Amino acid sequence: METKRERELLAFEQLLDVMDTLREKCPWDRKQTLESLRPQTIEETYELSDCILKNDMHDLSKELGDLLLHIVFYAKIGKEQGKFDIADVCHQLCNKLIYRHPHVYGDVAVKNAAEVVDNWEQLKTKEKDGNKTVLSGVPEGLPSMIKAYRMQDKARAVGFDWKKREDVWGKVDEELGELKEALNGDDRKAAENELGDFIFSVVNAGRLYDLNPDTALESTCAKFRRRFGYLEEHTIKQGKSLKDMTLEEMDKFWDEAKELEKKSERKKGE
């Protein structure tokens, strides 16, 4: 009887066999390149992220499979070009994980997860093929909110951070004041720059309080979608159009949606 590990290895081996067959016999798969797969990989990553946000464990397994397919696909193309194969991918990853976890595979002591992250960043800069600068490891193509958080976190790892997290609120207030002042002027670009500075400071505050701003904003977007959906639904039931309603009338349904959400949360807590 096969063990769980044997079952996992056999499943991965089957995936590699299927990839070999598709690359050989399927016209679409034969046509793909690293460049043609890239946009699809980004899409698959967002679909995986969506499943995580919805806590959809059934589709999560499916989306993980789709992303794994892309990893195997890239490795197959790399093998065909004589550059690398899936074994190289796995070996490089394992070597990196072992090197960057000296508290597990070595004699380094850590007190908490934050120290693990700090050690990770410090070891990363020491690697021969690692990043040349602290921020070079943050991809330019990341969404701005996530990019800001990652840049701030990397700067923190080398000591560039507030000594007391409470001190960040002075910076937030300062940036808000500069934004308001810029909005009173006629320089649109200056106002845009100040808006960016203000958002950056709020992201920094969230990080200092261990709150992920991207997750927080995603939750707020979902909340807005639910409440606006309630507003639209009940407007249609009354035979009205949103364009024909006053803001006060719309606020009434919005407040109803808020109250229903609060009641639902109270029931969950009981």
Per-residue tokens: 183: 């909005």
Nearest to 200 by CA among 160, 236, 150: 150
Q: What is the pTM of this model?
A: 0.66
Q: Is the CB of residue 77 less than 8 Å from the CB of residue 34?
A: yes
CA atoms within 13 A on the CB side of 105: 9
pLDDT greater than 60 at residue 130: no
Average pLDDT over residues 65-78: 97
Which is more confident, 242 or 270? 242
Q: What is the pLDDT of residue 53?
A: 85
**Domain spanning 135-213: which superfamily?**
MazG-like (1.10.287.1080)
- Number of residues assigned to the chain: 270
Closest CA to 180 of 170, 196, 191: 191
Find, among 66, 67, 84, the residue nearest to 75 by Cα: 84
Residues 6+ apart with CB under 8 A from 75: 84, 85, 86, 88, 89
Over the stretch 180-206, which tens digit does the pLDDT of each residue have? 999 999 999 999 999 999 999 999 999
Per-residue model confidence as pLDDT tens digits over 32-45: 999 999 989 999 99
List, as one string, the DSSP characters of the chain: ---HHHHHHHHHHHHHHHHHHHHHH-HHHHH--HHHHHHHHHHHHHHHHHHHHHT-HHHHHHHHHHHHHHHHHHHHHHHHTTS--HHHHHHHHHHHHHHT-HHHHSS---SSHHHHHHHHHHHHHHSTTS-SSGGGGS-TTS-HHHHHHHHHHHHHHTT-S-SSGGGHHHHHHHHHHHHHHHHTSS-HHHHHHHHHHHHHHHHHHHHHTT--HHHHHHHHHHHHHHHHHHHHHHHHHTT--GGGS-HHHHHHHHHHHHHHHHHHHHHHH-
CATH topology of domain 8-88: Helix Hairpins (1.10.287)
Most distant CA pair in the chain, distance? 75
- Give the model confidence (pLDDT) of 206-238 as tens digits: 999 999 999 899 899 999 999 999 999 988 888
